[in-house]
């Protein structure tokens, strides 16, 4: 059984990552809404123009433009995901650090977009790269969180496989003696 302080530190990491992301996400979206007219583009790094740009867009759907005008169902789904992440996190106490970090990224990204859906009835998107659909900091956090989670799971699977193989080799060596 883990001590109360261990649990507090454990959850502190989850919520610290989420809060930093939420603040960055909401600040950047607010800046975009105040400084870029809807549909307009600016080029924050002229050397990358027009490939990389900020474009203010109001997204009433999910990532990549799917499920447009589905704000309420997406709000409900995102809220369920937040509850599941917070509930599941206690089971991740002994999971690798990468896995726990990924849950913080997923939580922060989900809450960042939930705030928009509740306050505005749409999600503010503004990062445009090439022909890829416009996205935001919260979307990026979710994407990076999933990638980190997959990498962490692959590393864990590789370690377990190596451990099984090492155990099997040592058992074979003992049998030969």
Residue 175 appears among annotated catalytic residues: no
Q: Mapping DSSP to helix (H, G, I), strand (E, B) and coil, where does residue 63 land?
A: helix
Classify residue 34 as exposed, middle or buried by CB count within 10 Å of its CB (0-12, 13-18, 19+). Answer: exposed
Cβ neighbours of residue 127 closer than 8 Å, sequence gap 6 or more: 54, 134, 135, 136, 137, 140
Active-site position among 25, 121, 172, 175: 121
Q: Residues 46, 38: contact at Cβ < 8 Å?
A: no
- The candidate with the shortest Cα–Cα distance to 109, out of 28, 34, 17, is 17
Residue 116 appears among annotated catalytic residues: no
Tokens 């990498």 belong to 151
If one counts every other C-beta atom within 10 angstroms of the C-beta of residue 32, the result is 20
Active-site position among 25, 125, 139, 175: 139
- The candidate with the shortest Cα–Cα distance to 25, out of 103, 143, 116, 129, is 116
Q: Which are the catalytic amino acids?
A: 121, 139
């Amino acid at each position: 059984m883990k001590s109360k302080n261990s649990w507090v530190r454990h959850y502190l990491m989850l919520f610290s990552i989420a809060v930093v992301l939420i603040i960055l996400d909401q600040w950047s979206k607010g800046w975009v809404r105040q400084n870029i007219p809807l549909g307009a583009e600016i080029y924050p790094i002229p050397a990358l123009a027009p490939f990389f740009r900020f474009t203010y867009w109001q997204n009433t759907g999910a990532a990549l433009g799917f499920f447009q005008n589905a704000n309420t169902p997406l709000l409900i789904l995102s809220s369920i995901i937040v509850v599941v992440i917070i509930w599941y996190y206690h089971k991740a106490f002994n999971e690798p650090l990468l896995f726990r970090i990924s849950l913080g990224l997923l939580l922060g990204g989900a809450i960042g977009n939930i705030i928009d859906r509740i306050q505005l009835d749409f999600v503010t998107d503004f990062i445009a790269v090439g022909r890829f659909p416009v996205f935001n900091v919260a979307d990026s956090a979710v994407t990076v969180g999933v990638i980190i989670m997959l990498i962490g799971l692959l590393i864990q699977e590789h370690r377990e496989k190596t451990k099984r193989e090492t155990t099997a080799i040592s058992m074979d060596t003992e049998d030969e003696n």
